[in-house]
């Protein structure tokens, strides 16, 4: 049912007025990425001495949050995140942010089935359009579900966000209680790291497995970006995209004419995503571009939907993998660093796709206290979270090669993973595998 009628329209109020509606003990929701509010956030922080135990859900904070910075001891506000940005990770390290475990594509269902109604949702949006809607910009995600389950809906309008087309990508004015005029500062950008030589080596192994007409899901980071770079340099054509995150690498492929979507079974001709983070050039490319379609995350990330396109290629990073094939992609022991995101759902969706392939990629080593360490290990670091179980992992790729774990025994998995570990660690890994009976005596392959 609409919240407002012609007789009682949504009111435009100040950030201070909006913040005055918050009471101690409330649950607030700041939304995802580009949709996080700034005017409201500063106004709420200014009220900290009047409030206690205000809990705020958010995802991928791209700017410092005033409610955290102005409340260093956490006496008044506490953040919960569905996926950490670099900022969220630092706040977690300081005890000011806590992680919410998930499969990203299930989050709308969490709000509708398992979470208590949100007291107030505050989302930064585009100005009202000709249809009376406030566009969520390049962050559709689960915002519709939050709006449906919120007791109070506030939008903070910004002229600087890209207006993007998509499925139910906005909130109608009849569902809005209050409107804040935003500060119109430019949309936050996410720097794109230049691929290293190791990134490019990994990317070469992956691109050798990609054919014309493949449908791409590209994750965040240097290695997935390197895949886009090498695809640009290759002759591979007629690519499609059904992804969680829209990246600059995907936009570069689109501008070069490599992405046509012509061979997609589902949403032909459309680049499908649920949120975008990157450069201003990325936002400009998506702005009012009918080739880009921003869907809700339960559409982009559900394996039964992903699989409906043929030849799905899923490319994601991990930080550690054990000799049985468990991929730990989101923590360093008990220190949480990012999140599950859509990795597992895309691994499963790609596998179920006709001709699909999923790739988990990683550099073979990293440095800790000046010493090289192997990312391929006998046992995961104590406390590490398994993001993708051994039963789901398909291709694993390092700079030293690519192996497929599907259908392989524990012994075969261990040998395959040792073969793509850094040469300096292979002998030690083989010895540990034999000592712990991962590789039985007298068996050869």
With respect to residue 192, please indicate whether it lies within any of the assigned structural domains.
no
**Domain limit, last residue, from 114, 146, 181:** 181
With respect to residue 161, please indicate whether it lies within any of the assigned structural domains.
yes
Q: Look at residue 222 in the predicted model and tell me its pLDDT.
A: 81
Rounded to the nearest 5°, which phi and psi values hold at 257?
A: 80, 10
Q: Look at residue 426 in the predicted model and tell me its pLDDT.
A: 98
In 333-387, which ranges are E strands? 335-336, 357-361, 365-368, 371-374, 376-377
Residues 226, 150 share a domain: no
Residues 206, 153 share a domain: no
Burial 126-161 (b: 16+ CB within 10 A, else e): bbbeeeebbbbbbbbbbbbbbbbbbebbbbbbbebb
Structure tokens belonging to residue 72? 């260093």
Q: Look at residue 10 in the predicted model and tell me its pLDDT.
A: 87
Q: Which helix (H) or strand (E) holds 32?
A: strand 27-32
Residues 227, 170 share a domain: no
Residue 426, classed as helix, strand or coil, is helix
Gap between the terminal Cα atoms of the chain: 65
Residues 147, 290 share a domain: no
CB 380 within 8 A of CB 386: yes
Q: What is the pLDDT of the chain when averaged over all its residues?
A: 95
Our measurement of the distance from residue 72's CA atom to the centroid of its chain's CA atoms, rounded to an integer in Å, reads 27
Residues 216, 115 share a domain: no
Residue 88, classed as helix, strand or coil, is helix
Q: How far apart are CA 339 and CA 297, in angstroms?
A: 15
Q: How far apart are CA 256 and CA 252, in angstroms?
A: 6
Structural domain count of the chain: 2
Residues 375, 295 share a domain: yes
Going from the C-alpha of 56 to that of each of 86, 89, 164, 210, the distances in angstroms are 18, 16, 26, 42
**Domain limit, last residue, from 181, 211, 235:** 181
With respect to residue 176, please indicate whether it lies within any of the assigned structural domains.
yes
With respect to residue 6, please indicate whether it lies within any of the assigned structural domains.
no
pLDDT in tens, 9-38: 789 999 999 999 999 999 999 999 999 999
User: What CATH number has the domain bearing residue 51?
Assistant: 3.40.1080.10
Express as a percent the part of the chain with pLDDT over 70.
98
Tell me the catalytic residues. 244
Residues 212, 143 share a domain: no
Residues 226, 157 share a domain: no
With respect to residue 137, please indicate whether it lies within any of the assigned structural domains.
yes
Q: Look at residue 4 in the predicted model and tell me its pLDDT.
A: 57
With respect to residue 187, please indicate whether it lies within any of the assigned structural domains.
no
Q: How far apart are CA 77 and CA 116, in angstroms?
A: 19
Residues 29, 101 share a domain: yes
* Domain ranges, residue 266: 197-435
Rounded to the nearest 5°, which phi and psi values hold at 155?
A: -115, 140
Residues 386, 329 share a domain: yes
User: What CATH number has the domain bearing residue 202?
Assistant: 3.40.1080.20
Structure tokens belonging to residue 107? 């989050």
Residue 338, classed as helix, strand or coil, is coil
Structure tokens belonging to residue 307? 């699989």
Q: How far apart are CA 284 and CA 135, in angstroms?
A: 15
pLDDT in tens, 59-80: 999 999 999 999 999 999 999 9
Task: Judge whether residue 363 has pLDDT over 90.
Answer: yes
Residues 225, 160 share a domain: no
Residues 27, 122 share a domain: yes
Q: How far apart are CA 241 and CA 217, in angstroms?
A: 6
pLDDT confidence band for 334 (50 / 70 / 90): very high
Q: Look at residue 294 in the predicted model and tell me its pLDDT.
A: 98
Task: Judge whether residue 85 has pLDDT over 90.
Answer: yes
With respect to residue 395, please indicate whether it lies within any of the assigned structural domains.
yes
With respect to residue 350, please indicate whether it lies within any of the assigned structural domains.
yes
**Domain limit, last residue, from 181, 206, 231:** 181
Our measurement of the distance from residue 367's CA atom to the centroid of its chain's CA atoms, rounded to an integer in Å, reads 26
């Amino acid at each position: 049912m609409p919240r407002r009628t012609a007789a009682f329209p949504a009111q435009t109020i100040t950030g201070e007025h909006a913040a005055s509606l918050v009471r101690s003990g409330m649950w607030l929701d700041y939304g995802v990425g580009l949709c996080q509010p700034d005017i409201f956030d500063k106004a709420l922080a200014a009220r900290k001495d009047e409030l206690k135990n205000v809990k705020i859900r958010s995802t991928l904070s791209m700017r410092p949050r005033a409610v955290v910075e102005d409340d260093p001891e956490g006496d008044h506000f506490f953040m919960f995140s569905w996926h950490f940005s670099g900022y969220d990770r630092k706040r977690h390290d300081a005890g000011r942010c806590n992680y919410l475990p998930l499969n990203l594509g299930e989050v709308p269902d969490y709000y509708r089935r398992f979470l208590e109604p949100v007291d107030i949702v505050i989302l930064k949006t585009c100005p009202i359009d000709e249809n009376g809607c406030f566009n969520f910009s390049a962050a559709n995600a689960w915002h519709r579900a939050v709006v449906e389950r919120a007791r109070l809906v506030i939008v903070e309008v910004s002229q600087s966000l890209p207006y993007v087309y998509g499925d139910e990508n906005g909130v109608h004015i009849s569902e809005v209680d209050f409107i804040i005029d935003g500060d119109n500062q430019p949309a936050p950008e996410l720097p794109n790291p230049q691929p290293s030589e190791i990134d490019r080596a990994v990317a070469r192994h992956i691109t050798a497995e990609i054919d014309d007409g493949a449908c791409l899901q590209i994750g965040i980071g240097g290695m997935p970006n390197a895949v886009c770079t090498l695809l640009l340099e290759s002759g591979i054509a007629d690519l499609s995209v059904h992804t969680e995150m829209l990246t600059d690498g995907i936009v570069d492929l689109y501008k070069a004419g490599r992405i046509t979507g012509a061979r997609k079974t589902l949403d032909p001709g459309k680049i499908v995503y649920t949120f975008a983070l990157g450069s201003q050039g990325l936002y400009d490319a998506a702005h009012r571009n009918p080739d880009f379609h921003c869907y809700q995350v339960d559409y982009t990330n559900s394996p039964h939907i992903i699989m409906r396109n043929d030849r799905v290629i899923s490319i994601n990073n991990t930080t550690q993998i054990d000799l049985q094939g468990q991929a730990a992609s989101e923590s360093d022991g008990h220190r949480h660093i990012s999140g599950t995101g859509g990795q597992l759902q895309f691994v499963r969706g790609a596998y179920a796709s006709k001709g699909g392939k999923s790739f988990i990629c990683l550099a073979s080593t990293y440095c800790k206290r000046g010493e090289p360490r192997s990312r391929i290990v006998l046992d995961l670091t104590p406390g590490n979270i398994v993001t993708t179980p051994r039963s789901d992992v398909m291709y694993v790729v390092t700079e030293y090669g690519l192996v497929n774990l599907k259908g392989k025994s524990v012994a075969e998995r261990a040998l395959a993973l040792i073969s793509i570990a850094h040469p300096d660690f292979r002998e030690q890994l083989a010895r540990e595998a034999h000592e712990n009976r991962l590789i039985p005596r007298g068996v050869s392959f």
